[in-house]
A = this chain, B = another copy of it.
């Protein structure tokens, strides 16, 4: 049986949940397969209604979800209440996007003469890729788990979803799955629209099921590599969208350090310690100028860090890894600038926040290892050239941040292309840890932060679970509604011209 553990005490308790057997994984995948075609055929409005029901279901069960997740994650009720709201908002936003309909990229080229001769009628749109496997993360028990954005975007695409429950929050996963099932029942969704499996081996079996056509993953590079290997063994490899690791460099310009150093220190402290530093967008490296203004920023960061209490991490693996990586960073030459209060005996998976210091000139891959938890490495720099060169030696990221003053346009022009090449989102005068759920969001970036061509947050995340399909000279009855002549409900490209709904 699976266990559930309170990270504030480290005490585990048995659950009634067993790891899912390969046979059951297979049955669940087959049910998802049979649901796939039915779900696609019901059309967009049905999926929007299902997403609305999912949003309502999260809000209706919010108190129980928060209490259960708090006991399994130690993230606190304030943060978890906000996160449940984020989950509901995501479902609602995808419902809106499904109704708006431009994500299907409907396009019609009528038959006619072309410079290459007579051409047939060709119509194209994006359709569901088929059932999707979703691997949630430990650090977002709602918004990146069973009630998360991968599930929302898969359903928006018309894809049934089988989630693999995260071992750190099995009871939250189970409760979340019940919310999904109630939503499915409330609108009469086909059986198999949602499925759940438990246990690491079940996850590996899941991505090898022939019925599964894509996988979304948020978690560690190591776990992702194991799943990728399993996928590579399939006769038909499937797309794997993994959001893996990210160091999220942040640069403080000389002007910004001089004019608002104290505020930046406070903001950066809050950003690297929020949720105990367990965010994929946590700034892991901060470039701060040499000299007295930069020193003031560092002094303020040291004070804030030294005054901070211990923070509880999500599980023992993360706790152990945090300590090991912090030690490796020091062994690689980083100096401990400050540590927060030490955890008491019996305080579960608690650790001290850590501020490490180095110089941009010596910063390389060894000092850019992501420590998942409350740790930041401050790298002092003498010139922007030094910063640019250091970016070339560290891994690329989900985000890159620049604090800069209005009267420093040269700093912006000097660093822009470096920040853009190294990340999927460039943040100005803010912190990367808030990820707005919106149409224009991009949460992804060059390897290893994620699959480089897609996002896992925001409306366009739906593109991951779609495939294009074209019909040539098709009779009207064989076409989806969106591609029939006279349909005006969504934006379409007709003979090359984008047209809006009537």
Interface residues of chain A, those whose CB is within 8 Å of chain B, are 37, 82, 85-86, 89, 96, 100, 102, 105, 107-109, 114-116, 119-120, 122-124, 127, 129, 213, 232, 236-239, 396, 404, 406, 409, 412-413, 416-417, 420-421, 423-430, 434, 436-442, 444, 446-448, 452-455, 458, 460, 466-475, 477-478, 491, 493, 495-496, 498, 500
A148 to chain B, nearest CB (A): 15
Number of copies: 2
The listed residue with most B CB atoms (<10 A of its CB), out of A458, A469, A491, is A469
Contact partner of A420 (CB less than 8 A), chosen from B427, B430, B469, is B469
- Indicate if the CB atoms of B473 and A430 lie closer than 8 Å: yes
Q: Give Cα distance in the complex from A82 to B213, angstroms.
A: 38
Other 12 A-B pairs with CB < 8 A, given A37-B417, A107-B460, A426-B471 = A89-B114, A119-B438, A122-B425, A122-B442, A127-B420, A236-B396, A236-B446, A412-B477, A436-B472, A452-B467, A453-B467, A500-B500
Contact partner of A426 (CB less than 8 A), chosen from B114, B412, B452, B474, is B474
Residues of B within 8 A of A412 (CB): 475, 477-478
Contact partner of A109 (CB less than 8 A), chosen from B122, B420, B439, is B439
What are 20 of the A-B contact pairs (CB < 8 Å)? A37-B417, A85-B116, A89-B116, A107-B439, A124-B440, A124-B441, A124-B460, A406-B475, A412-B477, A416-B478, A425-B469, A425-B471, A426-B474, A428-B472, A428-B475, A429-B473, A440-B493, A442-B470, A444-B468, A498-B500
- Indicate if the CB atoms of B239 and A498 lie closer than 8 Å: no
- Indicate if the CB atoms of B426 and A472 lie closer than 8 Å: yes
Closest B residue to A473 using CB positions: B428
Residues of B within 8 A of A477 (CB): 409, 412-413
Residues of B within 8 A of A82 (CB): 116
- Indicate if the CB atoms of A441 and B428 lie closer than 8 Å: no
- Indicate if the CB atoms of A109 and B426 lie closer than 8 Å: no
Closest B residue to A465 using CB positions: B453
Closest B residue to A404 using CB positions: B475
Residues of B within 8 A of A100 (CB): 496, 498
Q: Give Cα distance in the complex from A440 to B102, angstroms.
A: 14
- Indicate if the CB atoms of B427 and A472 lie closer than 8 Å: yes
Closest B residue to A92 using CB positions: B115
- Indicate if the CB atoms of B237 and A447 lie closer than 8 Å: yes
9 closest cross-chain pairs (CB), A and B: A442-B470, A107-B440, A236-B447, A124-B440, A109-B438, A425-B470, A109-B440, A427-B472, A442-B468
Residues of B within 8 A of A107 (CB): 439-440, 460
Q: Give Cα distance in the complex from A9 to B480, angstroms.
A: 50
- Indicate if the CB atoms of B473 and A122 lie closer than 8 Å: no
- Indicate if the CB atoms of B474 and A122 lie closer than 8 Å: no
Residues of B within 8 A of A421 (CB): 37
Contact partner of A239 (CB less than 8 A), chosen from B116, B406, B452, B496, is B452
Closest B residue to A82 using CB positions: B116
- Indicate if the CB atoms of A129 and B452 lie closer than 8 Å: yes
Q: Give Cα distance in the complex from A93 to B123, angstroms.
A: 17
Residues of B within 8 A of A416 (CB): 478
- Indicate if the CB atoms of B127 and A440 lie closer than 8 Å: no
Q: Say yes or no: A436-B496 contact (C-beta < 8 A), given A468-B453, A473-B430.
A: no
- Indicate if the CB atoms of A469 and B436 lie closer than 8 Å: no
- Indicate if the CB atoms of B109 and A472 lie closer than 8 Å: no
Q: Say yes or no: A474-B116 contact (C-beta < 8 A), given A122-B436, A122-B441, A440-B493.
A: no
- Indicate if the CB atoms of A120 and B430 lie closer than 8 Å: yes
Residues of B within 8 A of A425 (CB): 122, 469-472
Closest B residue to A451 using CB positions: B239
Contact partner of A437 (CB less than 8 A), chosen from B105, B108, B116, B468, is B116
A440 to chain B, nearest CB (A): 4
Residues of B within 8 A of A37 (CB): 417, 421
Residues of B within 8 A of A438 (CB): 109, 114, 119, 122, 496
- Indicate if the CB atoms of B123 and A428 lie closer than 8 Å: no
Q: Say yes or no: A119-B474 contact (C-beta < 8 A), given A496-B96, A500-B500.
A: no
- Indicate if the CB atoms of B496 and A491 lie closer than 8 Å: no
Q: Say yes or no: A460-B468 contact (C-beta < 8 A), given A440-B109, A442-B124, A500-B500.
A: yes
Closest B residue to A425 using CB positions: B470
Q: Give Cα distance in the complex from A144 to B213, angstroms.
A: 28
Residues of B within 8 A of A436 (CB): 109, 114, 116, 119-120, 122, 472
A60 to chain B, nearest CB (A): 16
A420 to chain B, nearest CB (A): 6
A385 to chain B, nearest CB (A): 17
- Indicate if the CB atoms of A498 and B493 lie closer than 8 Å: no
- Indicate if the CB atoms of B455 and A468 lie closer than 8 Å: yes
